[in-house]
Amino acid sequence: MDKEIGKICIPGMRLSLSNKEFISGPGTYELKGYIYATLAGILKMEEDEKTKATIISVESPRTPSVLPKAGDIVTAKVTVVNSRLVQCMILCVGSSILVRPYKGVLKKEDIKSTDKDRIDPYKCFRPGDVILARVLPMTEIHWYHLSTAENELGVVIAVAEGSPQGISMVPISWSEMQCPKTLVKEPRKVARVIPENINQTMFKDSKESNKESIDVK
């Protein structure tokens, strides 16, 4: 059984020495020169390409009960847009889905890195958009401050006004998206989704399913 699924860890288990060769990763902690597990799950050892060190982490079969922390990339859904800020619900951290949604707020000046004083939130987001954002250090209780001031961050999925649900717009520039169905153009702070980040199989799947849906029609 062990060979099939790898080494099983439980909280408090001493995993290895902590030094230049072994670095503690997610699901572990360091204490007095050793790395211990904090979750029940499978041991993972990955080599970091830059430092040649082994990152030791524990992967839990279910999403760990952790919250977004500063520096994480999160997926969030926009709920409220006003002239000063954008409110949203954080749905995912990295690749793990959160069980409870947490509140996030994106201030006007954190939307773009350029032209900070001329940003209009209404021209960047609409309620219902799904965005990628980076978590800023926490300064307020119960609200996570987010930032989209990077090329890779911003709107990923958005539906144009009047378009049928399920048809999302396609980016046509840094600041515009177009609906493939109605050809309506709308302003958005578009995220440049990096191809490497996309799961290749997922990508293929969605293509195929798209084809399929067209075929059915």
Partner 1 sequence: MPLDYRRFNGPEDSVSYKRYTNKYYKGYDELYKELVDDKGRRKDGRALDEARSMCMFFARTDLISQAKGSAYIELKKTKVVCSVFDPREIPHQNEFSQLGQLYCEVKFAPFSCAQQRRPHVDAEDKSLSVALRQALEPTVCRHLFPNYQVDVFVYILEHDGACLAAAINAAGLALANASVPMYDIITSSSVAIIGKKVFVDPTEAEEHLAMMSPETEGTNHGIITMSMLSELKQVSDFVQIGSMDIECVTEAMDILEKECENIVPNIQKVLVHNVVQSFNQRKQLEAEAKEREIALNVKMEEWKKLLNAG
Residue holding tokens 């969605």?
Answer: 206
* Burial class (CB within 10 angstroms; exposed 0-12, middle 13-18, buried 19+) of 67: middle
Q: Which two tokens stand for residue 90?
A: 């954080």
Q: Is 30 in the site for partner 1 (CB under 8 A)?
A: no
Query: How many whole angstroms separate alpha carbon 201 and alpha carbon 207?
Result: 10
Q: How many whole angstroms from its chain centre is CA 142? A: 19
- Residues touching partner 1: how many (CB under 8 A)? 40
Q: Which stretch binds partner 1 (CB under 8 A): 33-41, 73-81, 127-135, 191-199?
A: 33-41
Within residues 94-153, the interface with partner 1 by CB under 8 A covers 98-100, 138-142
Task: List the one residue from 62, 116, 192, 207 that touches partner 1 (CB under 8 A).
Answer: 62
* Smallest distance, partner 1 to C-beta of residue 53, A: 22
Interaction of residue 154 with partner 1, rule CB under 8 A: no
Dist CA 109 CA 87 (whole Å): 14
Which residues in this chain contact partner 1 in the complex, by CB under 8 A? 1, 5, 8, 10-14, 27, 29, 31, 36, 38-42, 60-67, 69, 98-100, 138-142, 205, 208, 211-212, 215-216
